[in-house]
Amino acid sequence: MTLSDPQQPIAVLGAGSWGTTLALVLNGKGLNVRLWEFRQDAVERLRADRENKEFLPGIPLPESLEIHHDARECLADAQVVLLAIPSQFVRGALLQMTDFFPRGAIIINAAKGIEEITLMRPSEVVEEIYPGTWPDRYVALSGPSHAEEVSRGIPTTVVAGSANIDTAKTVQELFFTSTFRVYTRHDLVGVELGGALKNVIAIATGIADGLGFGDNTKGALLTRGLAEMSRLGIKLGGHPETFAGLSGMGDLITTCMSRHSRNRYVGEQIGKGKTLDEVMQTMTMVAEGVKTTVSSRELAHREQVPMPITEAIYSILFENKPVKEVVFELMTRELKLED
């Protein structure tokens, strides 16, 4: 699948740090990019400041980047629609746009989560609202890619996953720059799940940081966390090799180790003794791993896949079990073969 006209509009829905960054990547290639933000006051600030001081401070927004509050105007004649909306809000946003959403557009999802109530991946939500979207026109863009670094031109690699490899290649070419390298993967399910599930493990490594644990603990969490992710992902239809790639291991390492990671931060604060409510009240950005802890645990139960780290994080976040007690239980459970 190819783009019919390089100057036909590209609509980016969501002006958080990641949506703004991806809009800048595309704008920097001379493409016609429109950025949508649902809050009118935020749109006015973005237009006046030409900077996203709330989510991406210090990065100028060029005058050529259009900023919209009216979704109908933003989506008009768009050949590509990039979803940079937190996964729990994708359904609500798209349902408000059904009358004017461009049905023939390529849809790229850049958020990383699983819908909590339905346990659907973002592609399944989009397909339910706009039947016929995939396999041909839907791509998941994922990988180790913090907005704070991409926006400053720090070399980054991601993967475009799709059930249609030609559409993935179109998105690869669309985003590719000298500092933003894009690979393709013929595995939409695996790419979506890797990006979502690693956020739960990032909360776990953050808790380890908050407790003052060391590198041994992190190494264990990364390794056994990847095993959990792979078990569930493969059971749901993902390819094993995907979880060893950018959207699996790559994103897992970065999210678990980085000071930019919101999910790691949530875990760290809990490890230091704060409650989940106390942590969430201090955050302006969304930590997708909190909701994904619930949905991934439900998927694991449904599919009868053992995920002890995910189960442990759920018990800390939502059952208020003491952190050190959970660590003890995790370490002293039945001895097993490494798999």
Burial, 281: exposed, middle or buried (Cβ in 10 Å; 0-12, 13-18, 19+)? Answer: exposed
What's the Cα-to-Cα distance from 240 to each of 85, 141, 245, rounded to whole Å?
28, 18, 9
3-state DSSP call for residue 52? strand
Burial, 93: exposed, middle or buried (Cβ in 10 Å; 0-12, 13-18, 19+)? Answer: middle
3-state DSSP call for residue 14? coil
What's the Cα-to-Cα distance from 261 to each of 187, 264, 320, rounded to whole Å?
25, 5, 23
Per annotation, catalytic residue among 53, 112, 169, 198? 198
Of 73, 77, 133, 75, the closest CA to residue 109 belongs to: 133
Q: Give 13's contacts (C-beta < 8 A, 6+ positions apart).
A: 19, 36, 71, 74, 81, 82, 83, 84, 85, 93
Of 203, 202, 221, the closest CA to residue 316 belongs to: 203
Of 224, 240, 232, the closest CA to residue 296 belongs to: 232
> Quick one: how many helices (H) and strands (E) in the chain?
15, 10
Of 20, 153, 161, the closest CA to residue 82 belongs to: 20
Whether residue 218 lies in the annotated active site: no
Positions marked catalytic: 198
